[in-house]
Each structure stands twice: as C-alpha cells, then as structure tokens.
Structure 1
Amino acid sequence: MCGQCGIILGKKRRTRKELEALGNMFTSLLQYNERRGRDATGIYIADKNGIGKILKAPISAIHLTESSKYQEAIRSINNKTVTLIGHTRWKTVGTPMVNGNNHPIATERCVGTHNGTIMNHNDLFHEFGWQRTGQVDSEAIFRCADDCIDKRGRLDMGEFSEKLKKFLGTMSFILHNRQEPTMVYIGIGNMPLSLRYNSKLRCLCYSSELMPLVMAGKGYRGWHLQTQSPMTLFRFDIADLMRRDSVPMIFNL
C-alpha cells in the first residue's frame, strides 16, 4: 500500500497568492497520505518546458515537507508549472535506503509514481531488455512507457496498453512524459485513485483516498468528484482538463 497524490494545473494565469494556496494544498495531500506509507516520500514538479524537479528521501511525508529543500521546491511553483506529483511509500520490493527505489521514478523520458505490486517485474525486464537502475518493481511501468513513445515524442496509448497486458499484479499510476510537457497520464487499474476538479481554480486533484482530497481542498468551494472507469488509461491536457483521451488498460490480475 502506497499513497499517490497530486495536482494537475489547468491553463490559467494565477496570482502568487493562488500559487501559494495550491502549494499548501499539495503539502496537505502529502501529509494526509502519509498513513499509506512512511518508508519514503517524494515529489515531482514539472513545467511547460519539460523541465522538472524531483525531491525524494527515505523519510515520512511530515519530515520531508518540513525540510528546507521541500519548502524551496514549493516556492518555485509558478505559471509555467504543469503538475505536482507526490508519493508516500510503503516498501515492498527494493530498500528505501537506495533512493532510486523511491518514487517518483525517472527513466530516460518519463517520470511517474505507482501504487501496487508488479509480480512478474523480473520476467518483464528480461523479456524486453529494459535497462534497470533500481530494484523496485514499479520501474517496469515507466520503462515500458519509454518504449511506447513515438517519433513525435508522444506516448502511443494503444501500444502502451497492449504491452501492459503482459503485466501481472496490481497498479494505478501517474505518468508524465517530458516530451509532452503539457500532458499527464493517469492509469486507473485495480488500485484506488480518486479525482476531484475545481472549475474556479482550474485544477484536477487526485489521491489514493478521497478523504485527503476533501480535507486539503476544504478552503475552496466548487469541487466536483470525477468518476472514472477502472482499468482505463487517461491522457489529460492542461489546455482543457475536462476533455481527456482514454484507452482500456487490461493486465493480468
């Protein structure tokens, strides 16, 4: 059991006050998700230029969010920021003392987080010949995504979905392809993930549990729960977060 949480920022010119409020909301989401995993915590802040900042450590969410490095990262949020991705880890495969095993996980093209367990990860790395930098099973998802990015730099959702059929286990995940900086992919599989949208803030918030979304967003009205079909891969574009592409996401349970 791990916690995933974050905010996708729709296209909007925001005041410094609003940006600070969104940063505080993200911090609250991380802290509320701490109970889902205290072995490690990590964040990824991505912008429209495909540049992102990862901060992660084998410590709880409370300890990470109180650190000066985290506070500096949150203060860097601006009108180029696309998404804030967070993860609280309950260790399964791979020691959290090796930071490469902690989330967000970065590959050559993608950054993402995962909640679940890929039972056949060793077989997948062997079959596809993927380079492996850590021990964690989750890395297989993002190596697979790297393989499915076309010549234009876009993730081929159909090809990705087809390759995921070989995966055995449990998963929901968030994925950001740095070559598509204004897109965020969300795979809702057989692990929980709740989404809420606020039209005034033009942001989509997500969390492994609904409660953190309610508590972190209680200072604002106008939240709408987004009911999404399970076993589906979604692509969100910050230009219009209410429109999304999707394909079935079928894998072995």
Structure 2
Amino acid sequence: MCGIVGAVAQRNITPILLEGLKRLEYRGYDSCGIALHVDGELKRARSTERVTELERQIASTQLSGFTGIAHTRWATHGAPASHNAHPHFSRDRIALVHNGIIENHDELRDELKALGYVFESQTDTEVIAHLVDHLYTGDLFETVQLAAKRLTGAFAIAVFSRDEPHRVVGARRGSPLIVGIGNGENFVASDALALAGTTDQIIYLEEGDVVDLQLQRVWIVDADGKQVQREVKTVHAHTGAVELGPYRHYMQKEIFEQPRAIADTLEGISAITPDIFGDQAFATFRKIDSVLILACGTSYYSGMTAKYWIEGIAGVRCDVEIASEYRYRDSVPNPHALVVTISQSGETADTLAALRHAQSHGMLHTLTICNAATSAMVRECALAYITRAGVEVGVASTKAFTTQLAALFLLTLSLAQVKGRLNDEQEAAYLKQMRHLPVAISAVLALEPQIIAWAEAFARKENALFLGRGLHYPIALEGALKLKEISYIHAEAYPAGELKHGPLALVTEEMPVVTVAPNDSMIEKLKSNMQEVRARGGELYVFADGDSRITSGEGLHVIRLPEHYGALSPILHVVPLQLLAYHTALARGTDVDKPRNLAKSVTVE
C-alpha cells in the first residue's frame, strides 16, 4: 500500500525521491507527492495522477533540494484528492508523510482545533503533522518521540522541519520502515526496493523505533527512548525484476515467470527434510499435534489448499483462519499447534497482528511462508521458508501464489516425514513431480491462445460462477478473486456439490460457469454437477485434464490441460484461471496492474 521515501544529502535529492516512488508504484496508490527544504522554506508538489505526472509538475517548477520526503498514498481517511495527498504541512514549519491508520485521530483533531489549528484535509495524517508542530521543542528528534507516545494505531512516518535543514526523523509502530546508509547522506523508506541503485546498506527498524537522519550520522532510539544499535544489512534489491520487457502488463509478465519462480523456490531441494525450514524445525515438528494457518486474500486460498495436503498426506489436523477475523474472536489456544503465517510481503498488517495474538496466547511454534527474507514476518517467526518469486508488481498476485503452494507442499512432505507417513519411494516420486513442475506449467501457458478466445466472451458478462471440488475448491476461489480484482466482473466460487443448495438459482445463459475439472477421485461427482448447470441453460467453461473424458458440446466449452498432476494439480490448474482473468480484463480495458481501490501490500488493518 502507501510508500515512503525520504533523504538528507549534499546533492539534489529530487531524482532519488521520484525514482523511489516509481519503484513503489507496484504497491498501488491513488495520489502522490513530494516536499523539499528549499532556501529555508517548505515547498511541495502533489498529484492525484501517476508519479510521471508529478515528475512533469516538478520539472516545470524546477523544484530541488537537499532534504525532503515523498509519498504514494492509498486512500483510507478522505477521498483521493490533492488536498488529502501527502506530504502534509503544519503552519509551513513541519512536513510529514505517513503510512498506517491513527485510531485516536478524532480526539486529537478536536484537541488541536481547540488550540487553533486549521485542517485542510480529512486525513488522520494531518493530525500527526499538527501534533508534531504543537509539541515542537526546537529538536525534531525529541519532538517526534513525544508525539509517537500520543498516537494509537499503526504508523510509519517521515518528517522534517523548516527550522532544521539536513535532518529527517522517522518512526514506526506496526508499519514497516527502513533506513538506507550512504556516504555523507542517509535515507528512509518503507521498502528497500525504493532505494535500489542508491544504497544497498539497509537497517530494518524495529517496533517502536525512532530514527534521526543527518548527513553524517544515524541515531536510533527504541520505544523506551534508549539509544540502540540496529544491524546494517547488505540488501541487493533486484531493479531489473521490475522492468516490463516485452509484455503488455506486469501481471502478464509475472504469469509467464511462474516456471522460473517455481524452479527458483525449489532450488537446492534434493531431499525432504525439516531443516529447510530452520535448524529447530525437526524438533518443532515432532512436538506439534496440529497446524493453524493465518493469512489474508490470495495467501488465505493457498492455506486452504494446504489444508487438504497437510491432513491428507501428513495426517496432521489443520485449521485455516482469515487473519483479520482470527484475532477478534474467542478461540481456543493450543500451545502444541504450529502457527503458519503466509504473506507475499511479510508486512501484511492483519497477518502480523494475528501472529502476535497467537503468540500472546502461548502459541510459540511459529513458521512463515514469505517472499521477503528481511520482512517483519520472517523476523518474528521462529521458522521460515523464503519463496523466490522475485518482485511482484501486479496488484493481483500470481507467481507469489504458486510459489507459496510449492513451499506449502514442501512443508506437508516434511511434516509427513517426521510423523512417519512418508517412505523413501513416496519421497522420490513427489520430488520428481516437483522438479517437473516448471515444464508442466510451461505447457499450460501454451494454452493462452485458446483462453484468449474465451476471454472475448467473458468480457461481455457481468457475473460468473466458479466451481471446484475437494483440493480444487480453493483454486476456484482464487480464480473468482482474480476475475473480480482486475476485470470488475462479479464472480463467486462454490464447492460444486453446493450448487443445488442455492447458487443454482443464479444460473442462466448469461452466467458463465467456470469449472476446474482435474481427473481425480471427484471427477464423476463433478460431471453430475456440470449436468445440473447444463439442464438449466447454463454455459460451462471447463478446464479439464487430458484424460478426463469431458468433451465439448452445446453449452459446454473445454480446454484440456496437458497432464494430470495428482496432489500438485492445483498449481497447474490455477494458471489458466490467471490467464482468463488477465485477458478478460484486457478486453474490457481496465487498468490491469493497478485495479481500482486495491493496493499491493496491505500494511493497514
């Protein structure tokens, strides 16, 4: 979601801030802005369009400076409008940007209005700017520490003062913030990718940290106000990964990167062993009697898929919870459960909060499946498996999902091994299948021309149903999510056996019904469900395996996947659903990579 970049330097930092915003565009945003210290004054530019428009605006005014902050905003408080865009000023003395949500903003707003502050926006962020100005002691670092104690909620902020050139102060609680170390210059950002090409020396601030950035020093205090040293890590952000290349959109590029992403994620796996999850994994897996998966959105659907694997192959009970719901209900803690979090960014606010909730109830066996090795999720879990999907720019997740599935299947096999349910012959067979996945996915991608033809028909619809059974029900859910995310077609998914319990009432010739039909033990039951649709005039679009004996006919369209892939079939079957969503959105002319109202990295609750 929102992105922060800030800098203090002895050179013009405007290009650095703008480039940082461009690198953070993949998160999604609806406005952007920049503020600079210029000849003893605060100057800013803001836009409700893309960063390129902001760049043109700045070029026309020749705005430049040595100290400044920049931001991409995803609206929470107040509509996407210039007056709500960051940075926010207070009395032309304080400039501030903010990620997160301040829960006590209403009471602070009332307090500050009574002190004479005039609000120009509907944002909770402007409250922080005025609060910092009100508390300002002449020492910005000291003031931000005071202000942070008054804030309830999640935040990452970067702020500078007209009265203190060459100084930027940052603070974080619940939202990520990093520091970049340069030579006679220092930086702050919400993501190391923002500083790629500028510095690879990165400090990951911890919960409650406040940082003082000056030209020659970085000073950090913790939540108790004690000076602390945080480790400086060398982080190589792969800037080339965000180049579009020959593809029309990042989503298309990322769909076609899945064979490589899967291969990278499985690289070096020559045998099934718990050690791939950490040194203590074997001992942990022996202790646990169940698995609790916490995740949101697409990651939640990968967890739902893993439930079938973990219970069916490893024989371990598995519960899957939507992270944003889990922490707010009265659950029964189990200290012998393995708590598994799944997150592409490792900074998903709801999932982090759910993890901490579980830990607070004595559930300390924790593991994360994550695409960001330096994220908060990895730091806060005892065990981890890092997927290697690379940077995923498109808001609608594709390669992050399939690499999560690959990692979760490895977890399943490791649990099965520890629990005595995986013999050498089975291990060898599964490893062979996993090594063949990149080739198998490439064969599915070759079906794109057939899927494009279907997409032309889908583009004229406003509603769609997705059906799956067993292991492929979560894949139907993921397919429906992709279609609604980027094409804005209303789509729902159901277990196919539930059709007659309500959804069948919606079926007409105007309601396409997409069916995931692998040739597994449920295929005959699924065929019966498909007949229920045909009998009511519904139009079926079926992704079937080559040997499933489902043939095209009136009201029945079939695309055959090259091979049945057993337990790993979900990883193959989701790929054509991604392509269907992409080409349908393309035909409808939507903004594929930046769908309306959505953000890539959800760092607020």
Q: Which amino acid aligns with 2:20?
A: L
Q: Which amino acid aligns with 1:192?
A: P
Counterparts of 2:195 and 2:97, CA distance in 1: 18
Mapped contact 1:3–1:88 kept (Cα < 8 A): yes
1:138 aligns with 2:125: yes
Q: Which runs of 5+ in 1 are unaligned?
A: none
Counterparts of 1:249 and 1:89, CA distance in 2: 30
Q: CA 1:6–1:237 in 2, change beyond 3 Å: closer, same or farther? A: closer
Report the equivalent of 1:104. Answer: 87
Shift of 1:188: 2.2
Shift of 1:211: 2.0
Q: CA 1:194–1:137 in 2, change beyond 3 Å: closer, same or farther? A: same
Shift of 1:186: 0.9
CA deviation digits over 1:157-192, x for unaligned, max 9?
2x6534433322110101111122232111122211
Counterparts of 1:233 and 1:52, CA distance in 2: 23
Report the equivalent of 2:102. Answer: 118
Identity %: 24
Q: Within 5 Å, give how 1:11-90 maps onto structure 2.
A: 12=10, 19=12, 22-47=13-38, 49-65=39-55, 67=56, 69-73=57-61, 75-77=62-64, 81-90=65-74
CA deviation digits over 1:61-118, x for unaligned, max 9?
23322x2x22245x543xxx33131100101111122x22110001112011000011
Counterparts of 1:30 and 1:24, CA distance in 2: 10
Counterparts of 2:66 and 2:221, CA distance in 1: 20
**Bigger share in helix:** 2
Q: CA 1:121–1:186 in 2, change beyond 3 Å: closer, same or farther? A: same
Counterparts of 1:46 and 1:26, CA distance in 2: 13
Q: Within 5 Å, give how 1:71-220 maps onto structure 2.
A: 71-73=59-61, 75-77=62-64, 81-97=65-81, 99-108=82-91, 109-128=93-112, 129-130=114-115, 131=117, 132-150=119-137, 153-155=138-140, 157=142, 160-199=144-183, 202-214=184-196, 216-217=197-198
Counterparts of 1:86 and 1:94, CA distance in 2: 19
Report the equivalent of 1:236. Answer: 213
RMSD of aligned alpha carbons: 2.5
Report the equivalent of 1:246. Answer: 221
Q: Which amino acid aligns with 2:191?
A: E
Higher gyration radius (CA): 2
**Bigger share in strand:** 1
Counterparts of 1:197 and 1:126, CA distance in 2: 39
Instruction: Give the SS at the match of 2:24.
Output: helix
Counterparts of 2:26 and 2:144, CA distance in 1: 31
Higher-RCO chain (CA-CA 8 Å, sequence separation at least 6): 1
Counterparts of 2:163 and 2:129, CA distance in 1: 14
Mapped contact 1:112–1:142 kept (Cα < 8 A): yes
Q: CA 1:89–1:156 in 2, change beyond 3 Å: closer, same or farther? A: closer
Q: Which amino acid aligns with 2:86?
A: H
CA deviation digits over 1:195-253, x for unaligned, max 9?
22122xx2223321122322x43xxxx73212433312222233x2x242636379xx9
Shift of 1:6: 2.6
Normalised by the size of structure 1, how large is the TM-score? 0.77
Equivalenced residue count is 222
Instruction: Give the SS at the match of 1:248.
Output: coil
Q: CA 1:249–1:137 in 2, change beyond 3 Å: closer, same or farther? A: farther
Q: CA 1:207–1:155 in 2, change beyond 3 Å: closer, same or farther? A: closer
Mapped contact 1:43–1:55 kept (Cα < 8 A): yes
Mapped contact 2:35–2:45 kept (Cα < 8 A): yes
CA deviation digits over 1:124-179, x for unaligned, max 9?
112343522211011111111111113xx33372x653443332211010111112
Mapped contact 1:38–1:61 kept (Cα < 8 A): no
Q: CA 1:35–1:62 in 2, change beyond 3 Å: closer, same or farther? A: farther
Counterparts of 2:165 and 2:4, CA distance in 1: 20
Q: CA 1:196–1:23 in 2, change beyond 3 Å: closer, same or farther? A: same
